């Protein structure tokens, strides 16, 4: 099997193209199952954020082009449209890329922590879709361990330079005193949560949080002394906002040019500063053409992210050294899969049983069975599956008088040691 990382990001493609290949949260699970069932694909995971869309897949020989063909077909793109924007990493390079992504070394904001949570979400989604097997499952667990070590052993996370912080800092350049500003935040995810925290620290005059789910907006707003509204109420409140920061998962813009034009008329041309962090975009790009509206997109922030990075750059070199070592360790484990190794075969055999029984236990819980019943099923079934073949062989050995096999089994399972311990 060949491991491939295929994708595009903020360095290789403009936001206008990235939003065409982004996967929204609701549709990503279906897309992942579709990808995992393509001919030649054995495992799959999709990572889709505002800055990147990446496919991580294990493919059989001859199926290396299947992921790109599927990506074009799934998004109804003309064949070849993505060619100059895509990157592809194979095997060891794919492992290194995943480690660098999860640690924030490949992010627009060097070392930003949000990407690790997004990788974990992608991993859980792949697990839910039954799109992972032991090799990629092991890779993801290794990835999380590497990210934790990099975060612990280096200063890659020193100083705040997240996208949310950068958006607030940019707003501060336009409005010197944020204590006089009314801020409208659209969305209730991690990026907006971070922005709210930074704005609360600046003691802004008023915070308005808008979200499709009003309860989520109310929960976030209440923690920071803000006011919550639904997305349907945006037209009534937009004119109040001096600053707008938007980051939702909507497939279509939530703020149109007509809505902003009307708000600007109400504001009597008082300037409005807007930051659109979402991909696909939340604010119609043509809004930037309006007088007294200052609209910044996700790619524009790259020009602002320049401070507090020097210390992170030296930490990044340390992080790369850690990653190089861990890449080799994972690849050594992966190479061992191709070598006939009874211990490895036994582990893979046991892990296959584990995954099967665990999935059935999850299904029981989803159907309303009690946790105790599901746990009992998991424990008993897994024990029976793992011991069935060894028990059958030992019974045969007992009946045939095969003492060598019986003694070997005792040594293999440590039964001789237990017997000696009990005699003592």
- 180 known member of a binding site: no
- 52 known member of a binding site: yes
- 40 known member of a binding site: no
- 191 known member of a binding site: yes
Angle (deg, nearest 10), helices 134-153 and 342-366: 90
Residue 347 backbone zone (phi > 0: left; psi -120 to 50: alpha; other: beta): alpha
- 188 known member of a binding site: yes
Q: Which member of 8, 50, 184, 361 is catalytic?
A: 50
- 118 known member of a binding site: yes
- 137 known member of a binding site: no
- Beta-strand pair 272-276/243-246: parallel
Q: How far apart are CA 405 and CA 394, in angstroms?
A: 8
> What is the dihedral sign for C-alpha 211, 213, 216, 219?
positive
Task: Tokens for 190, please give them.
Answer: 């991690």
- 266 known member of a binding site: no
Residue 299: CA atoms inside 13 Å, Cβ hemisphere, count? 16
50 as an active site residue: the answer is yes
- 190 known member of a binding site: yes
- 225 known member of a binding site: no
- 283 known member of a binding site: no
- 271 known member of a binding site: no
Q: How far apart are CA 175 and CA 164, in angstroms?
A: 16
Task: Give whole-number Cα distances, 261 to 174, 232, 235, 273, in Å.
Answer: 20, 17, 11, 14
- 187 known member of a binding site: yes
Binding residues for NADP(+): 187-192
Active site residues: 50
Write out the binding residues: 49-52, 107, 112-114, 118, 187-192
Q: Annotated binding residues for substrate, as ranges? A: 49-52, 107, 112-114, 118
């Amino acid at each position: 099997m060949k491991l491939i990382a295929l994708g595009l990001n903020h360095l290789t493609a403009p936001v206008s193209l990235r939003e065409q290949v982004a996967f929204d949260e609701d549709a990503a699970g279906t897309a992942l199952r579709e990808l995992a069932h393509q001919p030649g694909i054995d495992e799959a995971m999709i990572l889709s954020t505002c800055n990147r869309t990446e496919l991580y897949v294990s493919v059989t020989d001859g199926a290396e082009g299947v992921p790109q063909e599927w990506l074009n077909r799934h998004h109804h793109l003309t064949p070849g449209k993505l060619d100059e924007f895509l990157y592809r990493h194979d095997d060891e390079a794919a492992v290194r890329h995943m480690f660098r992504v999860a640690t924030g070394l490949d992010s627009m904001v060097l070392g930003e922590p949000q990407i690790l949570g997004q990788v974990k979400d992608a991993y859980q989604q792949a697990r839910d879709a039954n799109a992972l097997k032991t090799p990629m499952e092991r890779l993801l667990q290794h990835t999380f361990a590497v990210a934790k070590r990099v975060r612990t052993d280096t200063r890659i996370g020193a100083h705040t330079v997240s996208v949310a912080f950068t958006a607030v800092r940019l707003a501060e350049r336009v409005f010197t005193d944020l204590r006089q500003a009314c801020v409208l935040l659209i969305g209730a995810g991690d990026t907006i949560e971070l922005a709210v925290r930074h704005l609360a620290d600046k003691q802004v005059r008023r915070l308005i949080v808008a979200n499709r789910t009003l309860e989520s907006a109310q929960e976030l707003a209440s923690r920071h002394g803000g006011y919550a509204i639904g997305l349907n109420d945006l037209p009534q409140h937009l004119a109040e906002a001096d600053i707008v920061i938007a980051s939702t998962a909507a497939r279509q813009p939530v703020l149109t040019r007509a809505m902003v034009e009307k708000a600007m008329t109400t504001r009597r041309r008082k300037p409005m500063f807007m930051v659109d962090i979402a991909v696909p975009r939340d604010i119609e790009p043509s809004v930037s053409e309006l007088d007294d509206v200052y609209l910044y997109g996700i790619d524009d922030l790259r020009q602002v992210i320049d401070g507090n990075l020097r210390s992170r750059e030296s930490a990044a070199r340390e992080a790369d050294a850690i990653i190089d070592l861990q890449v080799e360790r994972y690849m050594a484990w992966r190479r061992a899969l191709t070598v006939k190794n009874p211990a490895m075969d036994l582990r893979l055999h046991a892990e296959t049983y584990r995954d099967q029984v665990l999935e059935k236990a999850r299904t029981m819980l989803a159907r309303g069975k009690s946790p105790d019943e599901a746990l009992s099923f998991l424990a008993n079934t897994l024990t029976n599956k793992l011991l069935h073949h060894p028990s059958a062989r030992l019974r045969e050995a007992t009946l045939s008088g095969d003492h060598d096999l019986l003694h070997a089994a005792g040594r293999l399972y440590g039964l001789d040691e237990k017997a000696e311990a009990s005699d003592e």
